[in-house]
Amino acid sequence: MDVNQKEWWSSYLATEDAVIVDVRTEEECANGTIPGSINLDIYKGQGFIYMLEELNPSKTYFVYCHAGGRSAQACGIMRQLGFEKVYNLVGGISQWEGPVE
């Protein structure tokens, strides 16, 4: 589900056991990440699928990338793998106004 920044962040803060997933490359992550996020690079192809399979599909996932395209793709893949609660950050970190580390 695509959600705007305000709704994405407030939902994350209000959700117990929520996980933030950054699907950018390691090089992109070096420029800053949303606090608490885990990096699963979607460009790793099958490696990305293997990393997703290590996650608990019953948790709630908040997914982002640079501009929202890769994270939307990642959310689709996650849903195909049985993840029911996945939320894409519209605009990605390029439009993010929240905390960054």
* Catalytic (active site) residue 65: yes
Report the relative pairing of strands 86-89 and 61-64 from DSSP bridges. parallel
Scan for tokens 């399979």, then name that residue.
53
Query: Which entry of 21, 42, 52, 65 is annotated as an active-site residue?
Result: 65
Radius of gyration in angstroms for the set of CA atoms belonging to the chain, rounded to a whole number: 12
Q: What is the dihedral of CA 57, 13, 34, 98, to 10 degrees?
A: 150
- Active site (catalytic) residues: 65
